[in-house]
Structure 1
Amino acid sequence: MKVIRSADFVGERAWAALDIASMNGIGTRLHWTDQPYRWHINEGEEVFVVLNGRVRMHYRHAGLEQTVLLEVGDIFHASMGTEHVAHPLGVARVLVIECEGSI
């Protein structure tokens, strides 16, 4: 049992992660960042929950780049094969649920 105060988590670098749980090959991590990630495709599906801050999520759908602004409480589901990149607007904390070992 553990309680995690996400607002207190600060990373030493962009996209620093705190491992929360591993359940049957699915990892849950808390990320702190103030910088964009990089374009990528996960090995499986990904659920991305904004806990603090704002994040502009860029993704490609049908070959076209699109964006959506994610606010606190918003959830982005990247289905298998969805190329995407997260750009925080300032500091953000996000909960990511994905296959263990995914990028």
Structure 2
Amino acid sequence: MKIIRSKAFTGERAWAALEIANMNGITTRLHWTDQPYKWHVNDGQEVFVVLDGQVQMRYRENGVEQAVLLEVGDIFYAAVGTEHVAHPQGPARVLVVESEGSV
């Protein structure tokens, strides 16, 4: 059993991760960041939940870049092949559920 107080987690670098669970190859991690990630496509599906702060999620559909501002409690689902990048608007904590080894 684990109890994780997400607001208490702060990384020493952008996108620092606290491993929460690995369930049959699906990882759940808590990330702290104050810097954008990089454009990428995951190997599988990804669920991205904002727990603290705001994150502008940029993604491409049919070659057209789009953006949405995610607030606390918002969830972004990236299907296989969805090119995306997260841009936190100040410090943010996000819960990410994805296939083990995803970028």
Query: TM-score, normalized by length of structure 2?
Result: 1.00
Separation in structure 2 between the aligned mates of residue 56 and residue 13 of structure 1, nearest angstrom: 19
Question: What do the CA deviations read for 1:23-53 (whole angstroms, capped 9, x no partner)?
Answer: 0110000000000000000000000000000
Question: What SS does the corresponding residue of 2:7 show, helix, strand or coil?
Answer: helix
Residue 87 of structure 1 deviates from its aligned partner by 0.1
Question: What SS does the corresponding residue of 1:101 show, helix, strand or coil?
Answer: coil
Question: What SS does the corresponding residue of 2:73 show, helix, strand or coil?
Answer: coil
Determine the structure 1 residue equivalent to 2:69.
69
Question: What do the CA deviations read for 1:2-27 (whole angstroms, capped 9, x no partner)?
Answer: 10000000000000000000001100
Aligned residues: 103
Separation in structure 1 between the aligned mates of residue 96 and residue 28 of structure 2, nearest angstrom: 6
Separation in structure 2 between the aligned mates of residue 63 and residue 88 of structure 1, nearest angstrom: 23
Determine the structure 1 residue equivalent to 2:25.
25
Residue pairs, 1:1-103, within 5 angstroms:
1-103=1-103
Which 4+ runs in 1 deviate beyond 2 A?
Answer: none
The residue type paired with residue 15 of structure 1 is: W
Separation in structure 2 between the aligned mates of residue 35 and residue 102 of structure 1, nearest angstrom: 19
The residue type paired with residue 21 of structure 1 is: A
* Root-mean-square deviation (Å): 0.3
Separation in structure 2 between the aligned mates of residue 83 and residue 58 of structure 1, nearest angstrom: 9
Query: Is there any run of 5+ residues in structure 2 with no aligned partner, and where?
Result: none
Residue 72 of structure 1 deviates from its aligned partner by 0.1
Residue 65 of structure 1 deviates from its aligned partner by 0.1
Residue 75 of structure 1 deviates from its aligned partner by 0.1
The residue type paired with residue 89 of structure 2 is: L
